[in-house]
Structures are given as structure tokens and as C-alpha cells.
């Protein structure tokens, strides 16, 4: 009991020598509710049941517990609950300490009990201060609670004040203890809930937090003070039930308190369950070495893959978008076509170079092997013929780096406009424009013709028919004897 906390052993021994034990049969009445009293009872053996006015049991006190403390302090004249000996065969054995016995011990020991006398009066002053403030109920957000209610004051007199300084560690009490379940409420300061032998922090708890000590004790949790000072109030559940049962006006706030207590229980259970799961995950396992090694290998693989992707993106940015071996050279071509034959059919080009580009498609200006000569030949032919040549102008490439169907070119920097003339190409002009191939080496020309023949679709037959229709058999024979369309 807080009444004798801080007392020296010799003072306690002197006072106990003045007292005597009292045995009660099972079911015998020790004190009656509503009757005046000034004594504290300490249960030495057996059990004591606390009952309300109707005789319903509010709780059971075991050996090592006390009741009637505020009566011994002279703060409450009447009893808040009845006390009967437990149903055991031996009943109970109690030690009765009255306020008169305490005062007599102070007088007999005189100056030797000055410290205990000071502790005694400080406890009385502290309980009176709690009565004025209405704590611990005033610390909680209870709907309909008034500090002036008698139940608030009576519970304030029963509550125990516990003070902390920075770093203090506090362990809650179990519900199976001699005095039963305890509830604590933080009044000021901040405490953190710790779990496990390593003191793993679960969550901080501030003013107004409800601590169900039995639940925390089941989880083996503790509280540590984080601020320079902190204060909490502890009361027994049986004392609250005695106050609620003896004062009818307490019913309007008691249900709000039960709701807060249920929410606190759910919240603490959830957080402590998470802490237990985290502790199990971090616990040692025989496969930890292999798991860590696999984790390191996986991290290294991910880093290598990221480096490879980054290197590929840098190479792609420097070379431009490519998808097949000849595309890089095709992008340099000012008039490469992505479709065959060109959209809209064969049209009369403005120059021989445009005819070659339209006829050979993307291979007309391909560089490997030696196809750049054909491009220079096209340019030379265009200059000799006095034509303006290819109409090239800057433009941005497509999103994928390849020309779209029907687009004007595939080069991301330059593209060719199609001939504006709508006249059909004549065989004589075609034969003349094929002279540009004569300046090339034989193997280059064969390579160009083989590429042209392998990629020329069936629609080229329509070209041959249309050219024969205009120029006659001579032109057709010239086309078959080594023209552009001949393989």
C-alpha cells in the first residue's frame, strides 16, 4: 500500500508489534457498506470478497493486498463497499491498522519517526490535491463527466500517484496479483512502450492514454519515461466498480469509460501483436546465412542489370534508334523509302537521281558494301542534268526511328519529297538515268541489283506493263537486258 511506502523497517516493526491478527470464518462480515470506519485491513491469509449493496461480488482480494486505506488516512468517513471473508475452509486472517495506531506510533518514537510522519502527511496532501483536480477521471475524455460528481472525488482519493524522471523504467502489474486488475492513466509527460529483452520501442504514449496493466504484463511490456518528468495515476478496478455501484449518478459516464477502455485494449493488442511478429522475423534462424548470401547475390545481379540497361541506353542515344544492320546506313540516306512500291504508284521523277531512289528504294544509298558510290553518282547525274536534285530539308524522326507507312523518309535529320510531277516515267528517261550505275564497280552494281530484285514485290510487273504500253518493245527489251528492274 502507498501508505507505508518509504517507511523505515524499524518504524514498521515497532508499529506492527502494537497490532494483533484477527481470524474470520468463511462468509463473515468484516466491514459494511455505508458504515463509518477509520481502519486499514491487510490480508495475511485466505481471501476477502468486496460486495455492493445488493451483495454482488465486485472483486476478490488475496493474501498480500489491503483495503480501507483512505479511511485510515481520515479522508473518507464511510465505507464504499462491504467486505466478507472468502469461501475457503479457513476463511481469512487480517491485520487491522487504525488511524489511532498510526498516530500512537509517531508519538512513541518521537524524533525517530519524523521521516515517516512527513511521508504520512505528504500522502494526505497529495490525495486532497487529487480530489480538487478530479484525477484520474479528469485526464480522460469522458462524455458527461463533471468534476464535482462525488464518484470522481472518491476515485481520486483511491488513486495512487506515480512520478517518473527521464529514463525511469516502470513495469505494470498482472491481473492475477493480490489486488486484482489495475488501470493507469497518464496525466503529464510522455512514456514509450518497450517490448522484449532488447527494449524494442513499440509506440509512444502521451497524456490521457489508458494503460491496461494486466494486458501489458501478459505481453511482458514495460514503459520508459522520455521526458524530464512524467506523472500517471493508478487505481484498482474493484475500487472503480465499488464507486460506480454505490453512487447512481456515475452511470452516465461509466459507459463512456468502458468504450474508451475497449478501444485502448484493441489498440494495445494490435500494436503488441505487430511487435511480437517483428521480433519473430528478426530472431535467429539456421537458414539466415544462406538467406543473406542469396540476398547479396540478388542485389549484385540487380545492380549489374541496371548498369547494362544504362550502358545500352547510352549507346542507343549516341548511335540513334536502330533495329537491323543496314538501318544505320539507311538513316544517312536522304530519300530512303519505307514502302515498296512508293505510295501512289510510279510517277515521273524530276531527275535521274530521284528515279534511282524511287526504283531501288532503301538500298540506293546504303553504304555497305560501297553503296555510297551510288549516292555520289546520283548527285553527279543530277548536277549534269541541270535538275535541282533531291529536295532535302531537316525534320525530326519518328518515335521508333523508322519511317511510317506513307511517310516521306526514314532519316531523322533529312527526308526526301516525292516527285511533284504526275507523269508516268518514260522508258528512254529510265534508260538514261540507269547510266549512273556505269560509274560503279561491277561487284557493287551486282550487289545493288540483287538487293533490288530480292525486295521488288509483284507489283513491279505493273510497272513493266505500263512502260511497254508507252515505249513499245524496244524499251521492254532494254529493261530485260540489264535495266534497273533486271536482276
Query: What would the pLDDT profile of 99-130 be if each residue is shown by its tens digit?
Result: 999 999 999 888 888 999 999 999 999 999 99
Whether the Cβ atoms of residue 157 and residue 70 lie closer than 8 Å to each other: yes
Query: What grid cell was written down for 97?
Result: 491498522
**pLDDT over threshold 50, residue 351:** yes
182-201 residues labelled b (16+ CB within 10 A) or e (exposed): bbbbbbebebebbbbeeeee
Higher-confidence residue: 280 or 432? Answer: 280
Query: Given this model, what pLDDT does residue 251 score?
Result: 79
pLDDT of residue 93: 95
Q: What is the mean pLDDT of residues 149-155?
A: 91
Q: What is the mean pLDDT of residues 379-397?
A: 45
Query: Which of 59-73, 291-305, 473-487 comes out lowest in average pLDDT?
Result: 473-487
pLDDT value of residue 166 = 94
Q: What percent of the chain clears pLDDT 90, i.e. is strictly above it? A: 47
- Torsion angles phi and psi, residue 403, rounded to 5: -70, 150
Q: Which of 61-75, 80-94, 258-272, 275-289 has the lowest mean pLDDT?
A: 275-289
Spatial separation of the C-alpha atoms in residues 272 and 279, rounded to whole Å: 10
Of the two residues 334 and 232, the one the predictor is more confident about is: 232
CA-CA distance, 387 to 353, in Å (whole number)? 9
Greater confidence (140 vs 413) lies with: 140
Beta carbons within 8 Å of 313's beta carbon, 6+ residues apart: none
Q: Give the pLDDT of residue 205.
A: 95
Q: Please report which confidence band the pLDDT of residue 460 belongs to, taking 50, 70 and 90 as the band edges.
A: very low
Tell me the CA distances in angstroms from 24 to 51, 60, 94, one per residue in order: 16, 15, 8
Question: Could you read off the pLDDT of 196-247 as tens digits, one per residue?
Answer: 888 889 999 999 999 999 999 999 999 999 999 999 999 999 999 999 998 8
- What pLDDT shows up at residue 216? 95
Q: Which residue has the higher pLDDT, 254 or 425?
A: 254
Which residues are 57's β-sheet partners? 51
pLDDT above 70: residue 161:
yes
Answer whether residue 151 shows pLDDT above 80. yes
Give the pLDDT mean for 83-90: 88
Residue 403 pLDDT exceeds 70: no
Q: What is the DSSP letter of 74?
A: T
Does residue 125 or residue 370 have the better pLDDT? 125
The residues with which 165 forms a beta bridge, in sequence order, are 229
Q: Find the length of the chain.
A: 487
pLDDT at res. 447? 55
Dihedral sign, Cα of residue 151, residue 153, residue 159, residue 161: positive
pLDDT at 365 (0 to 100): 45
Residue 273: the pLDDT is 92
Confidence label for 484 from pLDDT (cuts 50, 70 and 90): very low
Q: How far apart are the first and last CA of the chain?
A: 113
- DSSP characters for 123-190? HHHHHHHHHHHTTTGGGS--TT--TTSHHHHHHHHHPEEEEEETT-EE-PPPTTSTT--EEEEEEES-
Across 241-254, average pLDDT: 87
Specify the pLDDT at position 83: 96
* pLDDT tens per residue across span 181-191: 999 999 999 99
The pLDDT value given to residue 280: 83
- Taking only the tens place, the pLDDT of each residue in 437-455 is 444 445 555 555 555 454 4
HSE-CB at 19 with a 13 A cutoff on CA atoms is 21
Backbone angles phi, psi at 447, to 5 degrees: -60, -40
Q: Encode pLDDT of 274-330 as tens digits.
A: 988 888 888 888 888 898 899 999 999 999 999 999 998 888 787 755 444 444 444
pTM over 0.75? The answer is no
* Residue 353, pLDDT score: 54
* CA dist., res. 72 & res. 102, Å (int): 9
Average pLDDT over residues 39-45: 94
CA-closest candidate to residue 3, choices 38, 45, 48, 33: 38
User: Of all residues in the chain, what percent carry a pLDDT higher than 70?
Assistant: 66
Mean pLDDT taken over the chain: 76
Amino acid at each position: 500500500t502507498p501508505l507505508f511506502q518509504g517507511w523505515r523497517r524499524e518504524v514498521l516493526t515497532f508499529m506492527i508489534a502494537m497490532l494483533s491478527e484477527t481470524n474470520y470464518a468463511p462468509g463473515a462480515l468484516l466491514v459494511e457498506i455505508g458504515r463509518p470506519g477509520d481502519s486499514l485491513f491487510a490480508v495475511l491469509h485466505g481471501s476477502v470478497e468486496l460486495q455492493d449493496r445488493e451483495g454482488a461480488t465486485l472483486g476478490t482480494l488475496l493474501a498480500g493486498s489491503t483495503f480501507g486505506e483512505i479511511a485510515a488516512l481520515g479522508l473518507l468517513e464511510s465505507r464504499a463497499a462491504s467486505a466478507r471473508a472468502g469461501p475457503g475452509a479457513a476463511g481469512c486472517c487480517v491485520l487491522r491498522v487504525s488511524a489511532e495506531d498510526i498516530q500512537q506510533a509517531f508519538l512513541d518514537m518521537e524524533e525517530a519517526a519524523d521521516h515517516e510522519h512527513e511521508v504520512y502527511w505528504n500522502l494526505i496532501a497529495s490525495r486532497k490535491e487529487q480530489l480538487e483536480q478530479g484525477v484520474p477521471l479528469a485526464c480522460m475524455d469522458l462524455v458527461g463527466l463533471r468534476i464535482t460528481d462525488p464518484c470522481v472525488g472518491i476515485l481520486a482519493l483511491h488513486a495512487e500517484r506515480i512520478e517518473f524522471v527521464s529514463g525511469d523504467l516502470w513495469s505494470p502489474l498482472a491481473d492475477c496479483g493480490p489486488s486484482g486488475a489495475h488501470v493507469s492513466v497518464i496525466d503529464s509527460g510522455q512514456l514509450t512502450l518497450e517490448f522484449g529483452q532488447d527494449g524494442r520501442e513499440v509506440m509512444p504514449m502521451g497524456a490521457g492514454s489508458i494503460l491496461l496493466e494486466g494486458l501489458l504484463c501478459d505481453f511482458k511490456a514495460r514503459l520508459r519515461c522520455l521526458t524530464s518528468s512524467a506523472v500517471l495515476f493508478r487505481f484498482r478496478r474493484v475500487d472503480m466498480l465499488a464507486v460506480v455501484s454505490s453512487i447512481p449518478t456515475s452511470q452516465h459516464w461509466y459507459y463512456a469509460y468502458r468504450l474508451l477502455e475497449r478501444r485502448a485494449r484493441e489498440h494495445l493488442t494490435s500494436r503488441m501483436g505487430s511487435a511480437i511478429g517483428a521480433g519473430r522475423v528478426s530472431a535467429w534462424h539456421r537458414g539466415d546465412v544462406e538467406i543473406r548470401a542469396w540476398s547479396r547475390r540478388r542485389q549484385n545481379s540487380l545492380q549489374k542489370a541496371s548498369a547494362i540497361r544504362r550502358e545500352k541506353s547510352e549507346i542507343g542515344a549516341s548511335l540513334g534508334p536502330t533495329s537491323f544492320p543496314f538501318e544505320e546506313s539507311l538513316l544517312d540516306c536522304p530519300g530512303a523509302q519505307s514502302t515498296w512500291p512508293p505510295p501512289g504508284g510510279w510517277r515521273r521523277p524530276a531527275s535521274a537521281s530521284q528515279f534511282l531512289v524511287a526504283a531501288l528504294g532503301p538500298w540506293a544509298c546504303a553504304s555497305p558494301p560501297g553503296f555510297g558510290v551510288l549516292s555520289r553518282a546520283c548527285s553527279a547525274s543530277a548536277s549534269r542534268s541541270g535538275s535541282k536534285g533531291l529536295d532535302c530539308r531537316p525534320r525530326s524522326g519518328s518515335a521508333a526511328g523508322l519511317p511510317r507507312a506513307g511517310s516521306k523518309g526514314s532519316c531523322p535529320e533529312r527526308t526526301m519529297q516525292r516527285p511533284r510531277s504526275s507523269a508516268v516515267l518514260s522508258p528512254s528517261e529510265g534508260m538514261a538515268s540507269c547510266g549512273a550505275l556505269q560509274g560503279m564497280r561491277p561487284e557493287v552494281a551486282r550487289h545493288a541489283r540483287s538487293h533490288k530484285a530480292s525486295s521488288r514485290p509483284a507489283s513491279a510487273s505493273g510497272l513493266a506493263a505500263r512502260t511497254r504500253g508507252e515505249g513499245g518493245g524496244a524499251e521492254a527489251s532494254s529493261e530485260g537486258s540489264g535495266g534497273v528492274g533486271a536482276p
